[in-house]
Structure 1
Amino acid sequence: MRYLHILLLLILSTMALTSDARHTMLYKSRHMVLDTDTIIRKQSLSVGVSYGSDAMFFGRTGPITYPFTSIDVVYNTKMGFFVYGSVLRLIGYRTFVDEVDLGGGYLYRPSKKFSGSISYNRFIFNKEKRIIESATSNDINWKNSYNWKHSKSTVILDYLFGKSSDFFMTFSQSKYFETKGNIFTDEDYLSFNPTLSAIMGTQNFVKTYSLEHQDRLEAINIYKFGSGPYSVNNGRLNVLNYSFKLPIAYNTPHYTFEASYKYSIPVNVEGALQNKRESFLNLTFFYLFY
């Protein structure tokens, strides 16, 4: 019962962003990412579950592959405010919960082509702190998108603080389209949103994570002896990652299932972690109440 109580308290989750009245999706910065940005002023509650093949944090992954599952809950108001909560569990470990995220923010749309959001996110981890995201605990996120008709440009600014402080700029170019014909019913359809992204920022979180997990890194021969996290300038602003993502979603008026493939190219890798090119698979299902 206490786990049920925890879940009920998490009726606070990411952003419900919609492409039209029949099509509502969730956005979550790292766990649940379903892709669309048009805002409808409608009170709603979304509950979703997702699977990821590895936990990535601003273009960086930890020394071990950490597949995960998560439960996300979102509440949106007609005024554009939202609150959210998320529970993440790593697959293959005995811990029941590895991370809890809480936050809220505001969605705005000053014109038909321009939309955005600003939010605050709080990350809470168990004592193991396995994933690289555990090197920080707070995130202020500011996202702005402009639709050029032929494609959409998005710029996201993140300021993270806690045990380490970092600043990130994420640039992406995407093209959303959907099927015109119905699939099984009069209201379902497929949607696609191929996206190219680049992340610039500092990486002090790499140093913090490396120092906290030095014994683990040495044990699996990933720690660079003689050139540890003190020997590099992790506070320098640099390009961190390039990626290509292809999400494909099956949509109905009340629920969506999305499968996405992402190919990641980390660059300027510094400190104790040996990141390399990696493919990611994410599966997400959510149900919308409104």
Structure 2
Amino acid sequence: MRRLPPVIPAHRLLLAVPLLVALAGPFFVPDELTRGVAFSGAGPLGTDFVGRDTWHQVLLGGRSLVLVALLATAGAYLVGVPWGVAAAMTRRRVLDELLMRPLDLLLAVPSLLLLILLATVAPRGAWSLAPIVMLINLPDVARVSRAAALEIAARPALEAMRLQGESRRRIAVRYVGRSMLRTLAADLGTRLTGALYLVAAASFLGIGVPPDAADWAVMVDRNRAGLFLQPWAVVVPALLIVALSVGLNLTFDRALRRGGRT
């Protein structure tokens, strides 16, 4: 009996398609882009609000969104995890307060409002959004890391390691850090999705990027006027953003479930 080819799981497909378009798409766009009539049916997906080929804009519009979100999330973890672990492992309540209270002040400001405030003083450009989104995600990452490290720091094994003369740095990296990996992995999917939405929201609001930039969120915003004339300029980038976010969450959920069974 002839075997059927394996079926690609839906969560992998949802993640792979937008990632492939975002990262490899710019290599398939010609160097010289022409303009035609706005919201016409020319090309595979028609044209956008200034007459550019929508298909070319889709291929160009995902790279900055994905890379900025990845950089922002990586930066938040590189800073936030050591910050939270240091606060959890200190035996002085004063130091714990000094480390965590400034982050609570950042949490008190709504993320979108903080994004707008920080973007007004930052240089204009998509890449300037990376440190802003990183700063917005930093308090949550540090608090999650501190909560996870507090439970680990209370274990008898940690006290035994201290009595044996292990350095604080060695304990933090080799024992506490390794014990936190599953918690951080569970948080990573949500955090990365949140970073994607923040970067997309900033682009949608015109923060940090030009109003005619080749960006999926900008495309959704700027082409809304022609939604009933040429819907693909809005529908396709919107679907790619949603597919990327849903695919990320589903992929991390499946990976955690599989890891829990092993």
Superposed pair shares fold, TM > 0.5: no
Q: Which has the higher strand share?
A: 1
Larger radius of gyration: 2
Higher RCO (C-alpha 8 Å, min separation 6) = 2
Q: Which has the higher helix share?
A: 2
